[in-house]
Amino acid sequence: MSNLAYKRVLLKLSGEALMGDDAYGINRITIERMITEIADVVRMGVELAIVIGGGNIFRGVAPGAAGMDRATADYMGMLATIMNALALQDAFRQVGVTARTMSALNIEQVVEPYIRPKAMRYLEEGKVVIFAAGTGNPFFTTDTAAALRGSEIGAEIVLKATKVDGVYTADPKKDPNAVRYATISFDEAISKNLQVMDATAFALCRDQKLPIKVFSIVKPGALKQIIEGANEGTLVHV
């Protein structure tokens, strides 16, 4: 335990991270690789919670949602996160790690309702807790849910998993001279208009002094290296 940089973390996974190279949905090979790496970290003794997005599922119905009422579309997106959470929970089961899904929407026949003390107890017991349905409110993203749940459970850091290995001075896909920040303050990120998280989530993390680490979930071993304190990704701090 002494070699761990973090004991309790909140991992923010986008739904798109589950797609692999597919247009939408869940790529089985991708999710299995990802779960194996997360399970290795949990076995090291890290208390880990996950907030999952739903863009990979919702993307498949997006053309039909064009012109839809925003609140209705957001509730559909919340249901998509529950589908992803169940897929993650089952994938953890297959590698021998116990996971519990807790939803901000009440669907008790399928998932448990979110109850903070219960979530804390699960974490202390070494179970992975998957938070689904965002905050349970339309107009708020799963980034905001990650900031909120991370604050509520006393996480030491929010790990924002992306397909890029950190925050850059410019889009590295468009600018070959873009440079990755090793660390950057919240205020500097705001002044430079760097899109780390949506504005509400970013402000909440800053106010709660909850650091954010942006890293690549597709880079093998990156998550474990962060947990062990390696200089991986970009740290956003107060």
pLDDT at 118: 98
Mean pLDDT to the nearest integer, 171-189: 92
Report the relative pairing of strands 99-103 and 157-162 from DSSP bridges: unpaired
Q: Is the pLDDT confidence value at 1 over 60?
A: no
Q: Residue 129: what pLDDT?
A: 98
pLDDT at 228: 95
C-alpha 126: how far from chain center? 18
pLDDT of residue 57: 83
Q: What does 137-203 look like in DSSP terms, one character per residue?
A: STT--HHHHHHHHHHHTT-SEEEEEESSSS-BSS-TTT-TT--B-SEEEHHHHHHTT--SS-HHHHH
Per-residue model confidence as pLDDT tens digits over 20-55: 888 888 989 999 999 999 999 999 999 999 999 998
pLDDT of 134 above 60: yes
pLDDT given at position 32: 94
DSSP sequence for the chain? -TT-S-SEEEEEE-GGGGTTTSSSS--HHHHHHHHHHHHHHHHTT-EEEEEE--HHHHGGGGGGGTT--HHHHHHHHHHHHHHHHHHHHHHHHHTT--EEEEESS--TTTSEEP-HHHHHHHHHTT-EEEEESTTSSTT--HHHHHHHHHHHTT-SEEEEEESSSS-BSS-TTT-TT--B-SEEEHHHHHHTT--SS-HHHHHHHHHTT--EEEEETTSTTHHHHHHTT---SEEEE-
CA distance 70 to 90: 31
Query: Regarding the domain delimited by 8-237, which CATH topology (the fold level of the hierarchy) does it fall under?
Result: Carbamate kinase (3.40.1160)
Task: Indicate if the pLDDT at residue 194 is higher than 70.
Answer: yes
Binding residues for ATP: 12-15, 55, 59, 162, 168, 171
Calpha distance 131→180 (Å, rounded): 30
Give pLDDT, residue 62: 63
Half-sphere exposure of 36 (CA within 13 A, CB side): 9
State if pTM tops 0.85: yes
At residue 63, the pLDDT reads 63
Specify binding-site residues for UMP.
Answer: 54, 74, 135-142
List C-alpha distances in Å: 19 to 22, 94, 230: 5, 19, 27
User: How far is it, in rounded angstroms, from Cα 195 to Cα 11?
Assistant: 18
Query: pLDDT at position 238, please?
Result: 92
What would the pLDDT profile of 75-132 be if each residue is shown by its tens digit? 999 999 999 999 999 999 999 999 999 999 999 999 999 999 999 999 999 999 999 9
Binding-site members are 12-15, 54-55, 59, 74, 135-142, 162, 168, 171
The Cα–Cα gap between 125 and 119 comes to: 10
Q: In 3D, which of 85, 88, 89 has the Cα closest to residue 103? A: 85
Q: pLDDT tens across 202-231, in order? A: 999 999 999 999 999 999 999 999 999 999
If you average pLDDT over residues 160-177, what whole number do you get?
91
Q: What would the mean pLDDT of 173-201 be, rounded to a whole number?
A: 92
